[in-house]
Amino acid sequence: MKLEKRDIAVRPRRLRRTDALRRLVRETCLNKDDLVAPVFISAGENKKHSISSMQGVYQWSIDRVQEEIDELLAVGIDKIILFGIPSVKDSTGSDSYSQNGIIQKSLQKLKQEYSDLFIITDVCFCEYTDHGHCGVIHDNDVSNDSTLSLLGKQALSHVEAGADMVAPSGMMDGMVGEIRLALDTGGFEHIPIMSYAVKYASAFYGPFRDAVESTPQFGDRKSYQMDPANIREALKEVELDILEGADIIMVKPALAYLDVISHVKDISNVPVACYNVSGEYSMLKAAAEKGWIDHDSAMMEMLLSMKRSGADIIISYFAKEAAALMKND
């Protein structure tokens, strides 16, 4: 019998029938090289301090952080981003740019013991200041221009101690240009900058503030972090940071801002990163603990959505667990 064209059914399901077929036509693939693991280092000794709002995440002292690094390397995660919690905080976050600061000492140790570990450092002040804000305070507000020179000083001190990349996160206007100038002047023109170009004033940061003890002591960060309602402003921030010398730009948070990641990817000529933040991590952990959701399936679907939206790099507290589930390709 001769079939008419109208009699031939369109059947997309043909390509979903077996696992081999699904893998053959898969459009987006997540792999270990996409992932960066955050690591928190705290002053003190013999410390593995559980963060109550982030199940399975710890503050580590310098003398024990190798336990975390060894576990990450064992599953194929060789890229980390460091956050430091100093013993003493002050109004300008001076530990962040001290040669004997928590991050500087951590870098020196880790680079001696793990020559192939790629270390990014968060460049900001909120975890180092006694007021919990991301810069120098003037008239009860963060002073953008007074903060810039200290950001350059902090970034340079991190690189001198061994950082492979710096990631400014404070959302100060001009921060990338200031850091690029400081690094180039210091002889580190080869060090890349991954800018938190698009960082929203989000409700999803709560557990992170427990992790680095950085809850603002007054007000909030809405005067310098972005309004969650805006996307054109996000594209402007990206364009400005690229012009100032950013090598990679980031969107933070990730899950509630997949549309922003997609738009940024469309206009960007540099790699795009996203930060799968603490609140996104903890809400999945809590739901899984209640038995309301399958942890591993939801975790992988969440990370895949970020890659599908356009992220080339995903910073995630799930990095170790996700990598353990991936095949060694």
Q: Within a domain: residue 17? A: no
> Which of 75, 64, 85, 73 is CA-nearest to residue 114?
73
Q: pTM score, two decimals?
A: 0.92
b/e for 100-121, b at 16 or more Cβ within 10 A? ebbbbbbbebbeeebeebebbb
pLDDT tens-digit readout, 103-149: 999 999 999 999 999 999 999 888 888 776 676 776 777 778 888 88
Burial (0-12, 13-18, 19+ Cβ within 10 Å), 50: exposed
H/E segment holding residue 124: none
pLDDT number for residue 132:
67
Q: Within a domain: residue 12? A: no
pLDDT number for residue 74:
97
Question: Catalytic residue among 199, 285, 307, 320, which?
Answer: 199
Q: Scan for tokens 């460049």, then name that residue.
A: 123
Q: Within a domain: residue 138? A: yes
Six-digit token pair at 170?
Answer: 């404070």
pLDDT number for residue 5:
63
Question: Catalytic residue among 79, 89, 252, 285, which?
Answer: 252
Are 51 and 8 in contact by the 8 Å Cβ rule? The answer is no
Q: Within a domain: residue 13? A: no
Are 72 and 112 in contact by the 8 Å Cβ rule? The answer is no
How many whole angstroms separate alpha carbon 165 and alpha carbon 138? 30
pLDDT number for residue 172:
87
Q: Within a domain: residue 6? A: no
Tally the domains of the chain.
1
**Catalytic annotation present for 109:** no
Range of the domain at 202: 30-325
How many whole angstroms separate alpha carbon 96 and alpha carbon 60? 17
Q: Give the Å distances, CA to CA, from 3 to 7, 8, 11, 13.
A: 6, 7, 16, 21
Q: Within a domain: residue 18? A: no
> Which of 282, 274, 279 is CA-nearest to residue 314?
274
Q: Is 257 helix (H, G, I), strand (E, B) or coil?
A: helix
pLDDT number for residue 224:
76
Q: Within a domain: residue 48? A: yes
pLDDT number for residue 2:
64
Strand partners, 313: 273
Q: Within a domain: residue 20? A: no
Q: Find the CATH number of the domain harbouring 51.
A: 3.20.20.70
CA–centroid distance for 35 within its chain: 10
In single-letter form, the type of residue at position 45 comes to E
pLDDT tens-digit readout, 79-88: 999 999 988 8
Question: Tens-of-pLDDT digits for all 329 residues of the chain?
Answer: 565 666 677 889 999 999 999 999 999 999 999 999 999 999 999 999 999 899 999 999 999 999 999 999 999 999 999 999 988 887 777 788 888 999 999 999 999 999 999 999 999 888 888 776 676 776 777 778 888 889 999 999 999 999 999 999 888 899 999 999 999 999 999 999 999 999 999 999 877 666 655 565 555 566 778 999 999 999 999 999 999 999 999 999 999 999 999 999 999 999 999 999 999 999 999 999 999 999 999 999 999 999 999 999 999 999 999 999 997 54
How many whole angstroms separate alpha carbon 190 and alpha carbon 290? 48
**Catalytic annotation present for 32:** no
